A = this chain, B = another copy of it.
Amino acid sequence: MLKELSSKAVKLREELIEFMDEYVYPNEKTFEEQLNEQESRWEIPPILEELKAKAKAHGLWNLFLPDEEYGAGLTNYEYAHLCEIMGRSLIAPEIFNCNAPDTGNMEVLVKYGSEEQKKQWLDPLLEGKIRSVFSMTEPDVASSDATNIESTIVRDGDEYIINAKKWWSTGAVDPRCEIAIVMGKTDPDAETYRQQSMILVPFDTPGVEVKRHLNVFGYDHAPQGHAEIHYHNVRVPASNILLGEGRGFEIAQGRLGPGRIHHCMRAIGKAERALELLIHRANHREAFKSRLIDKDGVREAIAESRLEIEQARLLTLEAANKIDQEGAKAARKEIAMIKIAAPRMALKVIDRAIELFGGAGVSDDTPLAEFWADSRTLRIVDGPDKVHLRDIAKLEIREQLKDN
Contacts and interface: CB of A to CB of B under 8 A. Distances in A.
A286 B312 CA distance: 31
Nearest to A315: B311
Interface stretch (A45-53, A109-117, A251-259, A350-358): A350-358
A216 B360 CA distance: 9
Interface stretch (A151-159, A239-247, A261-269, A368-376): A368-376
A128 interface: no
Interface stretch (A63-71, A172-180, A198-206, A396-404): A396-404
Contacts of A314: 2, 311, 314-315, 318
Interface string A303-326: 110110011101101100100000
B2 A307 contact: no
A81 to B, nearest CB: 13
Contacts of A167: 359
A129 interface: no
A73 B113 CA distance: 54
A30 to B, nearest CB: 17
Nearest to A279: B400
A393 interface: yes
Contacts of A373: 217-218, 362
A232 interface: no
A214 B359 contact: yes
Contact of A297 (B296, B337, B369): B296
B307 A401 contact: no
A377 interface: yes
Contacts of A148: 286-287
A379 interface: yes
A323 to B, nearest CB: 13
Given A217-B217, A369-B218, A385-B355, A390 B337 contact: no
A321 B148 CA distance: 46
Contacts of A293: 397
B303 A363 contact: no
A contact residues, range:
35 or more
A386 interface: yes
A168 interface: yes
A361 B380 contact: yes
B310 A2 contact: no
A167 B283 CA distance: 22
A364 B215 contact: yes
A362 B376 contact: yes
Contacts of A363: 214-216
Contacts of A392: 302-303, 306-307
Contacts of A401: 279-280, 283
Interface string A161-203: 0000001100000000000000000000000000000000000
Given A280-B404, A285-B142, A307-B392, A2 B318 contact: yes
A276 B312 CA distance: 23
Contacts of A355: 379-380, 384-386
Given A2-B321, A217-B217, 5 more contacts: A144-B287, A145-B288, A216-B369, A218-B370, A311-B341
Interface of A: 1-3, 137, 139, 141-142, 144-145, 148, 167-168, 214-220, 275-276, 279-280, 283, 285-288, 292-293, 295-300, 302-304, 306-307, 310-312, 314-315, 317-318, 321, 333-334, 337, 340-341, 354-356, 358-364, 369-370, 372-373, 376-377, 379-380, 384-394, 396-397, 400-401, 404
Closest 4 pairs (CB-CB, A-B) = A218-B218, A299-B393, A142-B287, A311-B311
27 contacts: A3-B3, A139-B359, A142-B287, A142-B358, A168-B359, A214-B364, A216-B362, A217-B218, A217-B362, A218-B219, A218-B370, A275-B400, A276-B400, A288-B390, A297-B300, A299-B397, A300-B389, A302-B392, A303-B396, A306-B392, A307-B340, A314-B314, A314-B315, A314-B318, A355-B379, A355-B380, A362-B373
